[in-house]
Chain A
Amino acid sequence: MNIIWYLLVAIAVLVAAFSGTMQTTTDAALDSAKVAVELSIGLIGIMAFWLGLMKIAEKAGLIQSLARLLRPIMTRLFPEVPAEHPAMGSMISNIAANMLGLGNSATALGLKAMKDLQEINTEKKSASNAMATFLAINTSSVTIIPATVIAMRASAGSTHAAEIIGPTIVATLVSTIVAIAATRFFQRFVPAQGKDPVDVPIKPDSENGEDN
């Protein structure tokens, strides 16, 4: 991340110097900083809303039943995560929200899942294998209904606005499969720098949610 961040900025300044776009680059930097804060603040309400709802779902045992239902798939995708851990439930809810195209709500649930995954992460400053897999699935976009795209096509005068659903699902499926394969493949080359995951005390209870 350090190198990429540096390269993005350094190349931008270099190119700006040669093509006379220094002023627009400056504006973009300051504008983006502002937008970043607006985005984060905008997310607070939605975060609060979904975290509240998720807490109820957790206490009512709904998340756990959902997790149990998808257990065969989830334990295979995330072998490091104990089957009963709340992270399973929150990852499923995030993926489901993404499938429905719920945008910011999916983000809120995804951040909850990351927090749950961090609980069982042995090396807190470093992404665990489970996190990498979860993020790769997440960014490969598991959309079923690309609602925004369909709406934009319709307003652009498309005669078959929804015809891209099929191709989108196929492309999504390919990228998700590649995402899972890629994390499996790459994780061999980047050791977690930690102890063996086996000797970590695992908190299996999912009854009362998180404890901080």
Chain B
Amino acid sequence: MADSLQMILTEASAWAIPIIILAILTVGMLRKVKVYETFVEGAKEGFQVGVRIIPFLVAILVAIGMFRASGALDIMIRLIDPLLSLVGYPSEALPMAMIRPLSGSGALGVMSDLLATHGPDSFIGRLASTMMGSTETTFYVLAVYLGSIGVRRSRHTLAACLTADAAGLIAAFIVVKLVF
């Protein structure tokens, strides 16, 4: 059952993009849009956007990279851990919660590590999986999105996003605890 569901999902995501492409091009042709010229015209901007986000991405990734490599993140985790174990939150899964908003590849690394050590169908495995799927790499997204349009003052964006992340992580914990 789970296997066939997974197959359907994998198939669905494999089909999604080709079908979207075909649909857009077909409707474009039917409505007499010069699809080729229009595509090229739009695509031209891709380069500028890619280049424009470089400095912002460098800034944020360097800071996060240093923070992790220096061991500062581990210290932070050790400080928070006793508080969270009070509510029954497993300390093994704490790095997951802390790294998730900072680094997508880092979180994937932590998750695969947790899945390997504790097994994917353990409480920790399920918790890490749910956290991974239900939150985003907030700092990366903010740096890239705001950087691409030259916004320097993010105002309340970061506070709101981190509040949402915290809510998502807490919800993941509660739901996994209730469901399984």
Q: Given A48-B46, A111-B145, verify A19-B111 contact (CB < 8 Å).
A: no
Contact with B along A36-50 (1 / 0, CB 8 A): 110111011111111
Q: Given A9-B66, A21-B70, A57-B28, verify A167-B116 contact (CB < 8 Å).
A: no
**Chain A, interface SS category:** helix
Tell me the bound Cα distance from A147 to B17 in angstroms: 14
Tell me the bound Cα distance from A44 to B31 in angstroms: 29
Number of A residues near B (Cβ < 8 Å) is 113
Tell me the B98-125 residues at the A interface (CB within 8 Å).
101, 108, 111-112, 115-116, 119-121, 125
A172 contacts partner chain B, Cβ-Cβ < 8 Å: yes
A136's partner among B20, B50, B57, B160 (CB-CB below 8 A) is: B160
| Contact B69 A24, beta carbon cutoff 8 Å | yes
Tell me the bound Cα distance from A24 to B126 in angstroms: 32
**B-side contacts of A37, CB under 8 Å:** 54, 57-58
Q: Which of A43, A118, A135 has the most CB of B within 10 A?
A: A135
Smallest CB–CB gap between A49 and chain B, Å?
Answer: 7
| Contact B149 A158, beta carbon cutoff 8 Å | no
| Contact A132 B155, beta carbon cutoff 8 Å | yes
B150 contacts partner chain A, Cβ-Cβ < 8 Å: yes
B94 contacts partner chain A, Cβ-Cβ < 8 Å: no
B24 contacts partner chain A, Cβ-Cβ < 8 Å: yes
Contact with A along B23-64 (1 / 0, CB 8 A): 011011011010100111111111101110110011111111
Smallest CB–CB gap between B89 and chain A, Å?
Answer: 14
Q: Given A5-B60, A32-B61, A139-B138, verify A47-B33 contact (CB < 8 Å).
A: no
Tell me the bound Cα distance from A36 to B66 in angstroms: 13
| Contact A62 B61, beta carbon cutoff 8 Å | no
Contacting chain B: which of A78-86, A99-107, A196-204? A99-107
Tell me the bound Cα distance from A149 to B47 in angstroms: 30
Smallest CB–CB gap between A190 and chain B, Å?
Answer: 4
**B-side contacts of A169, CB under 8 Å:** 134
Q: Given A60-B27, A111-B144, A187-B156, verify A43-B161 contact (CB < 8 Å).
A: no
Tell me the A53-76 residues at the B interface (CB within 8 Å).
53-57, 59-62
A143 contacts partner chain B, Cβ-Cβ < 8 Å: yes
> Taking beta carbons and an 8 Å cutoff, which residues of A are in contact with B?
1, 4-5, 8-9, 11-16, 19, 21, 24-25, 27-29, 31-33, 35-37, 39-41, 43-57, 59-62, 100-102, 105, 107-108, 110-111, 114-115, 117-118, 121, 123-127, 131-132, 135-136, 138-141, 143, 145-154, 156-164, 166-172, 174-176, 178-179, 182-183, 186-187, 189-190, 192-193, 209
Can you list 24 A-B pairs, Cβ within 8 angstroms, ordered by A?
A1-B142, A12-B67, A21-B70, A24-B70, A36-B54, A36-B60, A40-B54, A45-B46, A51-B45, A54-B42, A111-B145, A125-B153, A131-B145, A135-B142, A135-B146, A140-B165, A146-B132, A147-B10, A152-B112, A156-B119, A161-B2, A164-B126, A171-B169, A171-B175
